[in-house]
Amino acid sequence: MKRVHAIIVLMLIAGCAAAQGYDKNYRRLSSGDLTVDKNFYLLTVIDKTPDVKAVLAGNVALKSFLQAKVGILKAHVTDTCSYPASLMPDFFWKNDTASLARELNSVYAANKRAFDKMIDAHLRPSGYYQRFAGMANGVLLGKAWNQCFYGMDYIINQYGLGKRMRYPHIDSVSYVVTSRMYRTTLKDMMSSLAEVSEGFDVFYKPSLAVAMQLMQANDRDEPARLEPLEEGINKAAFDQIKKTDWKKYRYAAIVLPGAGPTLTTTPVSPNGKIHCDMAARRYLAGDAPFIIPSGGYCYPFQGPYNEAVEMKKYLMEKYNIPASAIIVEPQARHTTTNIRNAVRLMVRYGMPVTGPSLFVTSMSQTKYSAADSFDARNIRELGYTPYTRKKQLTNHVIEFYPVMECLHMDPLDPLDP
């Protein structure tokens, strides 16, 4: 009997933890910069929460961090530092994370009510920290801070120092960072930011500004392109979702991954067309009411084509599939995030996610995605698999069930967090 009671208690605890995550009625806050919001939602929320922001801005230790980084920013305007290796490292957090963690823990403990209110009202229901939903507020907040610090360091490494990060073939810096042009750009960036540094009121603002300026210099606004999707390219499908009789379909959606072209003269690659053909067959057979083509601006490097947008055009032109049946997911850059991002849209658009959906593609990609090694890659890169109960049905089709962890933001992929 005691064991039964213990299990019931554990179930109740688990249920409470799950209930503290994503809320479909939550309305996300906006800083005015969607790239910032998607990468660093904690910071957007703090900026919109006056009492928490005031606590952080007034803390003596944190203020010293701010003053030090602003001082470095101003010093770089006139000093002789001209190479990335001498300009960028001072804006990293990696050397300060231990002392910052202690101070931020102390700040949280002393102002628990204000922080808890913010966490419960925004961080949890937003879904951006869904993998932490079962954790206590203080732990969740600490992990959210770590993601912010790591994310800024990642961007500075990639676009400031030119380091080859996770996906260098499509995500790397656009210029030679040691070239005269880029060194001049970095120096001018210091001057430009120094001019507005009086507006940096919280300790993380200088490093955040440097990171965002680096992304801007490299035309890396992918997280914000085509947004808001449901008011633009996805409006017809978004409206149709509300009218759909889901009982008529075995599957909620057909997820269609991209295969980026290698030529700037080719909107859809040869394999991309095969992917579309396979998905169209399944849609026309009545398997699901929606196709979700997924893929961003990936190939060729800094190329003009968005995989998902071009696949939508192909499906409409070749198969007469209506726009109201195609949900564009235009940001995924890899097979792992094709599924993750498609699930994100399904959840946020109010589509059923307790039942199965289909992943439909070419034979070669189906073989790759059905293997255990693909699960291992997801866990290695995302920390989880964006699906459960994966089952290969044919040479072109995999059945899967979505998981809510897909909503979680990823600081290791700043172009598609």
| Interval 333-386: pLDDT, tens | 999 999 999 999 999 999 999 999 999 999 999 999 999 999 999 999 999 999
What pLDDT digit, counting tens, does each position of 40-80 carry?
A: 999 999 999 999 999 999 999 999 999 999 999 999 999 99
What average pLDDT does this structure show over 255-261?
A: 93
The burial of 399, by beta-carbon neighbours within 10 Å (0-12 exposed, 13-18 middle, 19 or more buried), is given as middle
Q: Which residues contact 330 (CB under 8 A, 6 or more apart)?
A: 225, 226, 229, 233, 295, 296, 297, 306, 307, 308, 309
Q: Are residues 157 and 184 in the same domain?
A: yes
**Residue at a domain's end among 165, 192, 220:** 220
Q: Are residues 242 and 369 in the same domain?
A: yes
DSSP-derived letter for residue 287 is: S
Tokens of 1: 């009997």
Residue 187 lies in a domain: yes
Indicate whether 272 pLDDT > 80: yes
Q: Are residues 197 and 241 in the same domain?
A: no
Residue 13 lies in a domain: no
Least-confidence region, from 18-22, 41-45, 75-79, 93-97: 18-22
- What's the pLDDT at 166? 85
- Given pLDDT bands bounded at 50, 70 and 90, which one contains residue 267? very high
**Residue at a domain's end among 194, 220, 246:** 220
Q: Are residues 179 and 291 in the same domain?
A: no
Residue 14 lies in a domain: no
- Given pLDDT bands bounded at 50, 70 and 90, which one contains residue 325? very high
Q: Are residues 47 and 125 in the same domain?
A: yes
Residue 147 lies in a domain: yes
- Given pLDDT bands bounded at 50, 70 and 90, which one contains residue 222? very high
Consecutive H or E run containing 387? strand 387-392
Q: Are residues 82 and 213 in the same domain?
A: yes
- What's the pLDDT at 262? 84
- Given pLDDT bands bounded at 50, 70 and 90, which one contains residue 261? confident
Q: Are residues 124 and 160 in the same domain?
A: yes
State the Cα–Cα distance between residues 45 and 129, nearest whole angstrom.
Answer: 13
On whether the CB atoms of residues 368 and 335 are closer than 8 A, the answer is yes
Indicate whether 13 pLDDT > 70: no
* Domains in the chain, number: 2
Q: Are residues 270 and 403 in the same domain?
A: yes
Q: Which residues contact 321 (CB under 8 A, 6 or more apart)?
A: 280, 283, 284, 291, 315
Number of Cβ within a 10 Å radius of residue 356: 18
What average pLDDT does this structure show over 124-133?
A: 98
**Residue at a domain's end among 199, 220, 241:** 220
Which pTM does this prediction carry? 0.92
Residue 6 lies in a domain: no
Amino acid identity for residue 39 in this structure: N
Higher pLDDT, 261 or 317: 317
What pLDDT digit, counting tens, does each position of 136-158 carry?
A: 999 999 999 999 999 999 999 99
- What's the whole-number average pLDDT of the chain? 93
Q: Which domain holds residue 402?
A: 228-407
Q: Are residues 216 and 233 in the same domain?
A: no
**Among residues of the chain, what percentage have pLDDT more than 70?**
95
On whether the CB atoms of residues 171 and 333 are closer than 8 A, the answer is yes
- What's the pLDDT at 4? 37
Q: Are residues 396 and 272 in the same domain?
A: yes
On whether the CB atoms of residues 231 and 335 are closer than 8 A, the answer is no
On whether the CB atoms of residues 113 and 2 are closer than 8 A, the answer is no
Indicate whether 270 pLDDT > 50: yes
Q: Are residues 256 and 137 in the same domain?
A: no
- Given pLDDT bands bounded at 50, 70 and 90, which one contains residue 12? very low
Residue 214 lies in a domain: yes
What pLDDT digit, counting tens, does each position of 169-190 carry?
A: 899 999 999 999 999 999 999 9
- What's the pLDDT at 97? 86
What CATH number has the domain bearing residue 326? 3.40.50.620
Q: Are residues 193 and 212 in the same domain?
A: yes
